[in-house]
Structure 1
Amino acid sequence: MKMKITFYGFPDNDPPSKDIAFPVIHQQAGGRGTFEDPITAATATPENGGRFTPGTRMYVPSLQKYLIVEDSCASCSPDQVDIWMESDERSPSEIVLKCEEAWTPDTPVEVEISPTQGRPVNTGPFFDVNSSACTI
């Protein structure tokens, strides 16, 4: 299905942190994008008009990343997924926010719901915490 994808990180999480609402695999937002270690994603949940429940797995072919719903997004539309961008309290807010914007596509992209294992995977980060650099 086609979905709007956006990104969020430490500075624009509510409150600013790595905290997540629904720990399924991770205790805090994270992941490398593999099937075994999918990246935390936030969506509108059924409680706030969405369709995806915590634990829903997704795969974004254009990013070559697996995702898992572990957080809620109150401002997301039902056809939107907000993907965690690795960042922490040391990450400069303005750089993380610009990186989120740079990674966000202008149009909806294909997102597979409940994908199988074996898809191509790129485990590189969207944002490099150690160098505070956007990797796009």
Structure 2
Amino acid sequence: MRPNLSSLLLTAAACLSLTACADAPVTRAKGLGIDPAAPAPAASGSADVSRQFPIYLTGYTYWDNTPPGSSAIARPVLRQRAGGDGTWQSPITIAVGHSIVGGRQTLDYPAGTRFYLPRLRKYAIVEDVCGDGPTPQGGPCHTGHNGHPWLDIWIGGKGVSPAASDACARRITAVQSAIINPPRDLPVHEGEIATEGCKVFL
């Protein structure tokens, strides 16, 4: 589970911001692994429709996960620990905002929702939550960043130092385009983000 991200907010101003993303339909692709107990995301429309829209992306690491020094996740779908190489078959774990009202947890996007991130050339899947405490809906992960939904992608980092992991998180942090319910055949730069160079393409 991803903790409060206030430290990343301090570095966001220095990160590349891509604000020209259009809220435009892309194509249709079969929805996968939607949690029937959670409501459909308001921003996505039909679960079968691919749609491109701007999001605020941050990264979390092995070193600043909850608990620190772990790859624990809150809502497993494809795996029991955070991971993935960014391919369609092995999308990277992504954490989303959530709310707890009357003891019921509701994710902003259901567990199993898939995204494609053109700037990273990686597929991702919702398997974790971003924000903690009894009222996570009051935190930035749920409320978003300057009107954009906030997504937090697992970048790994067990094999590199905490400082290198933090630098990688800063590098990928930006407002950028995402595709929800993407098609399967988009370009992929395969590998764990922290160990393959934190590469960005746009």
TM-score by length of 1: 0.85
Whichever residue aligns with residue 151 of structure 2, its letter is V
Give the deviation of 1:126 after TM superposition.
Answer: 2.1
Range with greater deviation from structure 2 (60-69 or 44-53): 44-53
Match of 2:168 among 99, 116, 131: 99
Whichever residue aligns with residue 152 of structure 2, its letter is D
Counterpart position of 1:13: 65
C-alpha distance 134-121 of structure 1, shift in aligned 2 (>3 A): closer
C-alpha RMSD of the superposition: 1.9
Match of 1:84 among 154, 161, 174: 154
Identity of aligned residues (%): 35
C-alpha distance 25-65 of structure 1, shift in aligned 2 (>3 A): same
The answer as to 2:127 corresponding to 1:70 is yes
Whichever residue aligns with residue 72 of structure 2, its letter is D
**8 Å contact kept, 1:34–1:123:** yes
Aligned equivalents of 2:170 and 2:106: distance in 1?
25
Give the deviation of 1:46 after TM superposition.
Answer: 5.1
> What are the ranges of 5 or more consecutive residues in structure 2 without an aligned counterpart?
1-52, 132-138
Whichever residue aligns with residue 42 of structure 1, its letter is A
Counterpart position of 2:77: 24
Aligned equivalents of 2:63 and 2:184: distance in 1?
32
> What per-residue deviation string (whole Å, max 9, x for no partner) do you get for residues 84-129 of structure 1?
01222x5321221112112222xx111111112111111043212x
The answer as to 2:54 corresponding to 1:2 is yes
Give the deviation of 1:73 after TM superposition.
Answer: 0.1
> What are the ranges of 5 or more consecutive residues in structure 1 without an aligned counterpart?
none
Counterpart position of 1:117: 184
**Length, aligned pairs only:** 129
Structure 1 runs of 4+ off > 2 angstroms?
45-51, 133-136
Aligned equivalents of 2:166 and 2:197: distance in 1?
10
C-alpha distance 65-52 of structure 1, shift in aligned 2 (>3 A): same
Give the deviation of 1:135 after TM superposition.
Answer: 4.1
Counterpart position of 2:194: 127
